[in-house]
Structure 1
Amino acid sequence: MESGSGTLFGPSSVSWRVHADPVFPVAGVRALILQALHPTAVAGVAQHTGFRDDFWGRLERTGLYVSTLTYGPAGEARKLAARIRGIHRRLSAVDPDTGREFPLDRPDLLLWVHCCEIESFLTTVRRAGNPLSDADADRYVAEQVVSAELIGLPASQVPASVAELDAYFHDVRPRLRLTDTARDGIRTLTIPPMKAWVQLLTPARPAWTVLAGAALATLPRWARKMYRLPGLPTTDLAATAGLKALRVAALALPDRISGPPEARRARALIAAAEGAA
């Protein structure tokens, strides 16, 4: 898949509309929290990069990867994905339950990471008020199959609609649980390391607290229960209202500070494409 703009998706794609949304950072953190519920996947992360070591660098590299795949030239996106595949191909970890070694590029783990990202990205921006129709949602999931292929998964194994994505999570849930490793990771994710001057002289700590709190509150009800968080319908209503307020506030910010440059350029191109339609 390659758009007329030379990127994998382009201004007319649903992927650009989702990934350029102001609440996308909340969706990214939500995806990480959801991913931690897979015991084998979280063990692989803990045994190689840990959670506190280079926390911000790792987060920045993850954001760069998603940004490059979404907005970068198609050739650059494919090269970056190939480089990441090569790194994962050389790495392995030990399953804490069985004691057996497993490769980090095991297909079921790659699929888990992909599905957590796509479900989180889509669900978060829709709950925040992005006016995506059900058809748009299905198109987004289908568009993102190409992202799964770039990390080494056959398209036939990847959900291509919201219904297929929901079915995947229904099937995988019996294999999920909250481990001590996941608890440690989420503790770091919600209260990450920050230099003293950053905490004292910038709003970084309270801003991150709001972002992480929104990510936790908007998890699926079954995932919140695993994390021993409230799982009541009223919690869902409150989380959605808070997320919508956050999006309204973000949209009111001056454009120059309303997100990373690539997302701002994407929003401008989306608006131009819609205006020309």
Structure 2
Amino acid sequence: MTDPGNSRDRHPRSGATDHHGDPVRPAHQGPADSLFGPDSQFYRFFNDPRWALALVRATVLEAAHPQVGAALIDNSTFVAHPWRRLRNTLVSLQRMFGEDDYTRQREAARLNRLHARLSGTDTQNRPYDAMDPEVRAWVVATIFESSVTMCRLSGQPLDQATMERLYAEFQAFLAAFGSGAGQLPSTLPKFWQYYDHMVEEELENTEALRIILYKLFDHLPAPPLLDGLPTVWAAGRALAGPVIGTITVASLPEPFRRRAGLPEIPGAQTLMQGAYLTAGLARFLPENWIRTESLTNLLYLSPDRDDPQAATLAALHGRMKRAGAFLRLVTPFPTQRGPAGGAAPQRSAGEFFTAVLDQTGDGYLDWPDLAAMARELSSRLDLDEPEETRLYKAYAEWWRELQEALDADGDGRISKEEYAAAVPSLAGPALIRVAEVLFDATDADGNEFIDADEYRALFRTGFGRTVPGTDARYSRGAFIKDFLSFMSGRHPSTPFDPLLTDA
């Protein structure tokens, strides 16, 4: 039997075409634009439950590339904030594959700016650069190949014409980033040769890969929907985590599994096949039940949101809390504290360090953590140049201030102990500039006040809360004061906590 993960002798060979997007909103969309939008093969996959398994598999194959793995370890928030990373990825893919060419080119420009800021060296002193054309091509290749594989593993292999169409779409996706983004091989036969070479010669058992397979699923934080129900989440995670890891390993190409020394668990292939087949049956469910956007929004729903669904969710939370109380009686999971209600409690310096400052989850505060904050805020505010660069520069100045004040041993990073020992107010001139940049970006009409609509745009991950006060306006001074109060770490903040601390 041919191994499910081996690409040899299992992919129809065919050709494909390239497509280049126009950076300005076009007055007329030509035939090539049909590669994107709701009629594309990608859009059908986007709402396919099997694609969740395919995305996990693609992420592992990405992380096995030495440059991608190093960039993830040094810069990514995928360990501390995996749900946020997932949501951002899905939003970005929707923009890139949508039918509006202007939105696609704007998103491509944003991603190019983001990747241009990610470079460095790995633990073996090898350079990595997120703008390397070969690296970017590999990332796109993993999504395409994993999409093809998910269909085959679920008993619905793609026919020749559909595979050609899908490959053309992914070629167009990569081309939308511009000529410096690299390109996929021109034909499918050449693609499978390229893919086999990468799997057999270039991929490694990287630290990022090991974290995804053996740490991330075992320690996955609860999504906002289940925040405050730690026992319920821990019980489900204890079962699902190892299963997802086992399924993912079993679906990887056999040559890579062997070379990387990944474990061969008895029954894993059967479990993997069953998971894909079961996920494939979900296509018979009503379409509105399995829409990716709806499911993602549900994960981020909160019972205290100003939303018609909030009452239903609050009732659901009540039932789940009762289930959690029962589980605590019959399981060995330790009691964990959820978010406190009522008046805002004091928050220790260590808690603030872990929840807010350490965005990458490595136990230290350094530039990648503050860059992650700038990246998240730029994305949420949908900033263009030069506002995005202004925000990054403000965070860079704040990082220099923090280093001078807190880096006692001069190792270029700040430990939790160094931070807690100093317990600074963190309200220096650089942090004030960060607050001013955020205010200016939010004050869309430039009237020196943030109105209710502008406020909701800034804190849309803060669950749609309205501006406090009778005049429904937020002055520059009040905004800066509240932001500095939050960043001082003294008290949790209703609007800012969800923006930077959600999982």
| TM exceeding 0.5 | yes
| Distance across 2 between alignment mates of 1:188 and 1:72 | 38
- Counterpart of 1:157 in structure 2 is 183
Asked if 1:87 corresponds to 2:114, the answer is yes
Correspondent of 2:280 among 243, 247, 258:
247
Q: Which amino acid aligns with 1:112?
A: W
Q: Which amino acid aligns with 1:18?
A: F
Change (3 A) 1:167 1:5: closer
Matched residue of 2:189: which SS? helix
Change (3 A) 1:20 1:71: farther
2:174·2:181 contact (CA, 8 Å) conserved in 1? Answer: yes
Q: Which has the larger radius of gyration?
A: 2
Change (3 A) 1:235 1:100: closer
Deviation at 1:101, TM superposition (A): 3.9
1:107·1:153 contact (CA, 8 Å) conserved in 2? Answer: no
Asked if 1:175 corresponds to 2:202, the answer is yes
| Distance across 1 between alignment mates of 2:48 and 2:192 | 23
| Distance across 1 between alignment mates of 2:190 and 2:209 | 26
2:154·2:276 contact (CA, 8 Å) conserved in 1? Answer: yes
| Distance across 2 between alignment mates of 1:119 and 1:132 | 12
Asked if 1:200 corresponds to 2:227, the answer is no
Change (3 A) 1:102 1:238: closer
Matched residue of 1:80: which SS? helix
1:3·1:9 contact (CA, 8 Å) conserved in 2? Answer: no
Question: What TM-score does the superposition give when structure 1 sets the normalisation length?
Answer: 0.78
Q: Which amino acid aligns with 1:80?
A: E
| Distance across 2 between alignment mates of 1:198 and 1:105 | 40
Matched residue of 1:182: which SS? helix
Deviation at 1:114, TM superposition (A): 1.3
Deviation at 1:42, TM superposition (A): 0.3
1:15·1:140 contact (CA, 8 Å) conserved in 2? Answer: yes
Q: Following superposition of structure 1 onto structure 2, how do residues 95-134 of structure 1 map, counting pairs within 5 Å?
A: 95-97=122-124, 99-130=125-156, 132-134=158-160
Correspondent of 1:228 among 262, 265, 269:
262
Q: Which amino acid aligns with 2:283?
A: L
- Counterpart of 2:169 in structure 1 is 143
| Distance across 1 between alignment mates of 2:232 and 2:105 | 40
- Counterpart of 2:40 in structure 1 is 13
Q: Show CA shifts across 1:44-77 (max 9, x none).
A: 1110115422221112111211222223522212
Q: Show CA shifts across 1:182-232 (max 9, x none).
A: 312432333243247445346863556655543332222223332513299
| Distance across 1 between alignment mates of 2:123 and 2:206 | 10
Correspondent of 1:257 among 259, 279, 289:
289
Correspondent of 2:100 among 68, 73, 79:
73
Change (3 A) 1:198 1:39: farther
- Of 104-113 and 13-22, the range deviating more from structure 2: 13-22
Matched residue of 1:144: which SS? helix
| Distance across 2 between alignment mates of 1:31 and 1:171 | 17
- Counterpart of 2:16 in structure 1 is none
Change (3 A) 1:166 1:237: farther
| Distance across 1 between alignment mates of 2:109 and 2:255 | 34
- Counterpart of 1:267 in structure 2 is none
1:128·1:240 contact (CA, 8 Å) conserved in 2? Answer: yes
Matched residue of 2:134: which SS? helix
- Of 252-261 and 82-91, the range deviating more from structure 2: 252-261
Q: Which amino acid aligns with 1:223?
A: F
Q: Which amino acid aligns with 2:40?
A: S
- Of 148-157 and 107-116, the range deviating more from structure 2: 148-157
Deviation at 1:257, TM superposition (A): 2.5
Deviation at 1:163, TM superposition (A): 2.1
Asked if 1:218 corresponds to 2:251, the answer is yes
Change (3 A) 1:5 1:151: closer
2:38·2:99 contact (CA, 8 Å) conserved in 1? Answer: no
Question: What TM-score does the superposition give when structure 2 sets the normalisation length?
Answer: 0.46
Q: Which amino acid aligns with 1:169?
A: Y
- Counterpart of 2:65 in structure 1 is 38
| Distance across 2 between alignment mates of 1:92 and 1:155 | 15
| Distance across 1 between alignment mates of 2:101 and 2:242 | 35
- Counterpart of 1:273 in structure 2 is none
Work out which structure has the larger RCO, using CA pairs closer than 8 Å and 6 or more positions apart in sequence: 1
Asked if 1:62 corresponds to 2:89, the answer is yes
| Distance across 2 between alignment mates of 1:113 and 1:231 | 27
| Distance across 1 between alignment mates of 2:57 and 2:228 | 27
Count of residues in Structure 1 that have an aligned counterpart in Structure 2: 260
| Distance across 1 between alignment mates of 2:101 and 2:193 | 30
